Amino acid sequence: MREEKTLEDLVIPGDRLGVAEEFLPGPGTYEVGYQIRAAAIGKVVKDLLNKVVSVKPYKLPVMPYSGAIVLAVVIEMREDFARTKILAVNNILLNYSFTGILHVSQVVEKAGEIKQMYSYVRIGDVVKSKVLNSFPPYLLTIKDAKLGVVLASCSKCGTQLRLSKDKLKCPECGNIETRKLGHGYGSVYIEAGDTKATFGR
Ligand SMILES: [Zn+2]
């Protein structure tokens, strides 16, 4: 059967969509005083066949924003910063990756403790970070105790490092490395649409 969708408009909650004599209120709408109004931001869909008006909610694309917790992979190391690709925002996979910059001053709380970037993160690490601004390139921080590296590989042989006490140890070659660790080291949970996956274990 052919769908009788004739009109698609963007509306905001409260917008008048029609009167109750013309249409029945469908999903995303409400009826008040014989008028049907939008209950969501979205597109109006008027089903002329069944005389139902509904609002299909408009889904905003997932983007990094100030205060968001993101998962970022380190792709380049410099002495005082790491360049990353932000892969997920609040555990939701992004359609496009964005650049995130983690400066060495955003790694630990006390300035006196600052060492070389290399002793906190390394290339290939997955870093749970907080975003500090709302436009690219996004500036990241991992000062909070919960934030930091959540997956890391051995610099010698590439095997995923295991956490034992507060050191990272390679189960293959025994190499021991240090990072600024985040809570939950060893697994990364990501959602993409209906797919949910945990990496690392
Ligand atoms: Zn190793």
**pLDDT at 193 (0 to 100):** 78
**pLDDT at 145 (0 to 100):** 93
Q: How confident is the model at residue 1 (pLDDT cuts 50, 70, 90)?
A: very low
Whether 152 has a pLDDT exceeding 50, the answer reads yes
Place of tokens 């890391």: 152
**pLDDT at 25 (0 to 100):** 93
| Rounded Cα–Cα distance for residues 32 and 24 (Å) | 12
- 201, 141 contact by CB (below 8 A): no
DSSP-assigned letter for residue 160:
B
Distance 88 CA to ligand 1 centre (A): 27
**pLDDT at 192 (0 to 100):** 84
Distance 74 CA to ligand 1 centre (A): 19
User: Hey, do 10-57 and 69-185 end up sharing a CATH topology, with the first three levels equal?
Assistant: yes
Q: What is the CA 78 to chain-centroid distance, rounded?
A: 25
- What is the residue extent of each domain of the chain? 10-57, 69-185
pLDDT for 156-201, tens place per residue?
999 999 998 878 999 999 999 999 999 999 999 998 877 888 887 6
**pLDDT at 194 (0 to 100):** 79
The span from the first CA to the last CA of the chain, in angstroms, equals 48
Q: Pairing state of beta strands 92-103 and 138-141?
A: parallel
Q: What is the pTM of this model?
A: 0.71
**pLDDT at 159 (0 to 100):** 94
| Rounded Cα–Cα distance for residues 157 and 62 (Å) | 35
| Rounded Cα–Cα distance for residues 140 and 105 (Å) | 10
Nearest by Cα to 62 from 93, 41, 98: 93
- 154, 174 contact by CB (below 8 A): no
Distance 153 CA to ligand 1 centre (A): 8
- CATH number for the region 69-185 comes to 2.40.50.140
Question: Average model confidence (pLDDT) for the chain?
Answer: 89
Whether 62 has a pLDDT exceeding 90, the answer reads no
pLDDT for 93-148, tens place per residue?
988 889 999 999 999 877 676 678 988 999 999 999 999 998 889 999 999 999 99
**pLDDT at 8 (0 to 100):** 57
Distance 42 CA to ligand 1 centre (A): 51
Q: Please state the φ and ψ torsions of residue 193, each to the nearest 5 degrees.
A: 65, -125
Distance 169 CA to ligand 1 centre (A): 8
Distance 157 CA to ligand 1 centre (A): 4
DSSP-assigned letter for residue 5:
B
Nearest by Cα to 84 from 129, 144, 118, 120: 129
Buried b (16+ CB within 10 A) or exposed e, 92-114: ebbeebbebbbebebbbeeeeee
Distance 174 CA to ligand 1 centre (A): 6
The protein residues having their C-beta less than 5 angstroms from ligand 1 (an ion) are 154, 156-157, 159, 170, 172-173, 175
Distance 77 CA to ligand 1 centre (A): 20
Buried b (16+ CB within 10 A) or exposed e, 26-36: bebbeeeeeeb
**pLDDT at 69 (0 to 100):** 96
Distance 80 CA to ligand 1 centre (A): 26
pLDDT for 26-42, tens place per residue?
998 988 888 999 888 88
**Is it true that the peptide bond before 137 is cis, omega within 30 degrees of 0?**
yes
- CATH number for the region 10-57 comes to 2.40.50.100
